[in-house]
Amino acid sequence: MKLYFTIITLFFLVLTSCQNENSNLQLTYLGTAGWVIKDENSKVLIDPYLSRIKLVGMSTSSKISKSAQSRDWGSDNRKKYYRDDRFEPDTTVINWMINNNVIDSSNYIFVHHTHFDHAADVPYIAKKTGARVIGTESLSNLLRAHGIPDKQIVTVRGGEDYDFEDFSVKVLPSLHSALRDKQYYSSENIPSDIKVPLQIKEYVEGGSLMFFFRFKNHKVLTMGSMNFIESEIDKLKPDILLAGSANSRKEIYRYTERLLKSTGFPEIVIPTHWDDFRVTYDAPQEKALEAKVMPFVKDVNRVSPKTKVLIPQHLVPIIIN
């Protein structure tokens, strides 16, 4: 783990010394559906889930999944989590990200929905950075329960089009991935009187959103799930699409074709929410790449041959000029 972070630190040092940041948009994959997006004026965080806890079971059902039971955890000696356990952020990892300028000066955090793998680290990061957090009522309840002051909280439901100082964001109503053979459905919010820290299972969806960012030189559409409402993203024309690419996309009718067509066949597509997020940053992701990303890339190439697909690596910035 230490060696991995040393390499990444060196990478960041080289990067900051040799690039002209002024005209670039920089996107850094934090794993799961998490991103740092940065240009000359702004730095925003999206679904920053850095703890990557060793959850022994399904993320959205009470059953212990077969894959988790049979999984070889290798040398991962971290605490095992079950869905009844109360979540604790991995402050060593988060503080490292703050101290090494990965997420330090972010002014805003946007959250797609309040499952633990999107929202559980947000209270700690908001407290440490003072960033304003934009998300659903479910997220606002979580933040208030953690003592985050109201001035840091912006509650949205989808449909808002908000101007921030150096960028603007259209918030889009969306849908959660159709997990478990389409059996997944939740209309629950994290309630306002919730006791913190929450149990993993108490991080309920709280509604799903997508975000359409207009930065100075680029328009970026972000996803936190493998699903979308076609009429909401129609005619947005992002030049960069962070596309949900895990296998639950296969539940959706012509997922890739409808997604790319309705967004005007974006110039750049970057797969998101595809990695195995129950393992640490230094664990290999080849299996996830092969099983989820590569078939999706193939789909994109078929549907939109002119689109460039960029495959992200954890914590390695992608620079778009």
Cβ 212 to Zn ion, closest distance in Å?
20
Which range binds Zn ion by CB under 5 A, 114-122, 129-137, 269-277, 290-298?
Answer: 114-122
> Is-contact 203 213, C-beta < 8 A?
no
Choices 16-24, 96-104, 107-115, 161-169; region in contact with Zn ion by CB under 5 A: 107-115
Question: What DSSP element (H or E) covers 126?
Answer: helix 122-129
Residue 52 vs 115, nearer CB to Zn ion: 115
Q: Tell me whether residue 24 or residue 245 sits nearer to Zn ion (CB atom).
A: 245
- Strands (E) in 207-315, as ranges, are 208-214, 219-222, 240-244, 268-272, 308-309
Closer residue to Zn ion (CB): 143 or 179:
179
Min dist. Cβ of residue 154 to Zn ion (A): 21
Comparing CB distances to Zn ion, the nearer of 115 and 218 is 115
Q: How far apart are CA 24 and CA 223, in angstroms?
A: 22
Site for Zn ion contains 52 (CB under 5 A): no
Nearest CB to Zn ion, comparing residues 158 and 264: 158
The interaxial angle of helices 122-129 and 91-99, nearest 10 deg, is 40
The rounded distance, in Å, linking the Cα atoms of 278 and 79 is 11
Instruction: Give the alpha-carbon dihedral of 283, 82, 209, 291, to 10 degrees.
Output: 40
The minimum distance between CB 207 and Zn ion, in angstroms, equals 11
- Residue from 38, 43, 115, 218 touching Zn ion (CB under 5 A): that is 115
Stretch that binds Zn ion, among 47-55, 67-75, 100-108, 111-119 (CB under 5 A): 111-119
- Total of residues contacting Zn ion (CB under 5 A): 1
Q: Rounded distance, CA 238 to CA 29, Å?
A: 18
What gap in Å lies between CA 124 and CA 130, rounded to an integer? 10
Phi, psi of 2 (to 5 degrees): -60, -45
Query: Which residue number is nearest to Zn ion in terms of Cβ?
Result: 115
Q: What does the binding site for Zn ion look like in residue numbers (CB under 5 A)?
A: 115
